[in-house]
Protein backbone atom coordinates (compact mmCIF):
# COMPACT_ATOMS: atom_id res chain seq x y z
CA UNK A 1 0.00 0.00 0.00
CA UNK A 2 2.92 2.32 0.73
CA UNK A 3 4.25 2.01 -2.82
CA UNK A 4 0.81 2.66 -4.26
CA UNK A 5 0.57 5.87 -2.26
CA UNK A 6 3.97 7.00 -3.58
CA UNK A 7 2.80 6.13 -7.08
CA UNK A 8 -0.31 8.24 -6.50
CA UNK A 9 1.86 11.16 -5.39
CA UNK A 10 4.02 10.92 -8.50
CA UNK A 11 0.91 10.59 -10.68
CA UNK A 12 -0.46 13.72 -9.05
CA UNK A 13 2.81 15.50 -9.87
CA UNK A 14 2.57 14.37 -13.49
CA UNK A 15 -1.04 15.54 -13.78
CA UNK A 16 -0.17 18.95 -12.32
CA UNK A 17 2.75 19.38 -14.71
CA UNK A 18 0.58 18.24 -17.62
CA UNK A 19 -2.00 20.87 -16.68
CA UNK A 20 0.61 23.64 -16.76
CA UNK A 21 2.04 22.30 -20.02
CA UNK A 22 -1.42 22.14 -21.58
CA UNK A 23 -2.21 25.74 -20.62
CA UNK A 24 1.11 27.04 -21.95
CA UNK A 25 0.81 25.02 -25.16
CA UNK A 26 -2.77 26.12 -25.71
CA UNK A 27 -1.78 29.75 -25.31
CA UNK A 28 1.18 29.46 -27.66
CA UNK A 29 -0.90 27.63 -30.27
CA UNK A 30 -3.59 30.31 -30.08
CA UNK A 31 -1.23 33.18 -30.94
CA UNK A 32 -1.43 32.77 -34.75
CA UNK A 33 -5.22 32.37 -34.70
CA UNK A 34 -7.71 35.12 -35.40
CA UNK A 35 -8.50 37.51 -32.56
CA UNK A 36 -11.61 38.92 -34.23
CA UNK A 37 -14.74 38.25 -32.16
CA UNK A 38 -17.30 35.94 -33.75
CA UNK A 39 -20.68 37.47 -32.86
CA UNK A 40 -22.93 34.74 -34.29
CA UNK A 41 -21.07 31.71 -32.91
CA UNK A 42 -21.31 30.57 -29.31
CA UNK A 43 -20.65 33.30 -26.77
CA UNK A 44 -18.83 35.47 -29.29
CA UNK A 45 -15.21 34.88 -28.32
CA UNK A 46 -12.47 34.78 -30.91
CA UNK A 47 -10.80 31.56 -32.03
CA UNK A 48 -7.67 32.45 -30.05
CA UNK A 49 -9.65 33.08 -26.87
CA UNK A 50 -11.59 29.84 -27.30
CA UNK A 51 -8.38 27.86 -27.66
CA UNK A 52 -6.65 29.53 -24.70
CA UNK A 53 -9.63 29.22 -22.37
CA UNK A 54 -10.39 25.68 -23.52
CA UNK A 55 -6.87 24.46 -22.85
CA UNK A 56 -6.87 26.16 -19.43
CA UNK A 57 -10.25 24.57 -18.64
CA UNK A 58 -9.08 21.08 -19.57
CA UNK A 59 -5.88 21.69 -17.61
CA UNK A 60 -7.96 22.57 -14.57
CA UNK A 61 -9.72 19.21 -14.76
CA UNK A 62 -6.36 17.43 -14.97
CA UNK A 63 -5.12 19.36 -11.94
CA UNK A 64 -8.32 18.66 -9.99
CA UNK A 65 -7.87 14.95 -10.72
CA UNK A 66 -4.27 15.31 -9.53
CA UNK A 67 -5.46 16.84 -6.25
CA UNK A 68 -7.93 13.98 -5.78
CA UNK A 69 -5.19 11.39 -6.42
CA UNK A 70 -2.86 13.23 -4.03
CA UNK A 71 -5.45 13.19 -1.26
CA UNK A 72 -5.96 9.47 -1.84
CA UNK A 73 -2.19 8.97 -1.59
CA UNK A 74 -2.03 10.98 1.64
CA UNK A 75 -4.44 8.59 3.33
CA UNK A 76 -1.58 6.11 3.70
CA UNK A 77 0.93 7.22 6.36
CA UNK A 78 4.59 7.68 5.56
CA UNK A 79 6.57 10.43 3.80
CA UNK A 80 3.63 12.83 3.85
CA UNK A 81 5.74 15.99 3.39
CA UNK A 82 7.27 14.45 0.27
CA UNK A 83 3.83 13.57 -1.08
CA UNK A 84 2.52 17.06 -0.36
CA UNK A 85 5.52 18.54 -2.16
CA UNK A 86 4.82 16.36 -5.19
CA UNK A 87 1.18 17.47 -5.21
CA UNK A 88 2.03 21.20 -5.28
CA UNK A 89 1.78 21.71 -9.08
CA UNK A 90 -1.72 20.22 -9.14
CA UNK A 91 -2.81 22.12 -6.03
CA UNK A 92 -1.50 25.45 -7.36
CA UNK A 93 -3.12 25.04 -10.78
CA UNK A 94 -6.44 23.78 -9.43
CA UNK A 95 -6.60 26.46 -6.74
CA UNK A 96 -5.53 29.42 -8.88
CA UNK A 97 -9.04 30.33 -10.13
CA UNK A 98 -10.24 30.57 -6.53
CA UNK A 99 -7.24 32.36 -5.03
CA UNK A 100 -6.67 34.95 -7.79
CA UNK A 101 -9.88 36.97 -7.09
CA UNK A 102 -9.06 37.04 -3.38
CA UNK A 103 -5.59 38.38 -4.10
CA UNK A 104 -7.03 40.96 -6.48
CA UNK A 105 -9.27 42.38 -3.76
CA UNK A 106 -6.55 42.18 -1.11
CA UNK A 107 -4.14 44.32 -3.12
Give me the pLDDT at residue 85, please: 95
Say how many domains are in the chain.
1
Q: Distance between the two ends of the chain, CA-based, in angstroms?
A: 45
Gyration radius (Cα) of the chain, Å: 17
Q: How far apart are CA 29 and CA 102, in angstroms?
A: 30
Return the percent helix, strand and coil in the chain, to nearest 5. Answer: 80, 0, 20
Give per-residue pLDDT as tens, 24-77.
999 999 888 888 887 777 777 888 888 888 999 999 999 999 999 999 999 998
Q: Element (H or E) spanning 6, and its range?
A: helix 2-30
Q: Which domain holds residue 89?
A: 2-106
Query: Helices then strands (H, E): number in the chain?
Result: 3, 0
Amino acid sequence: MYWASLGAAWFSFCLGCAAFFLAITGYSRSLPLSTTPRPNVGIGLSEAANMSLGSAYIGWFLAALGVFVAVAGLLVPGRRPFKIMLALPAVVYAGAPYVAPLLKHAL
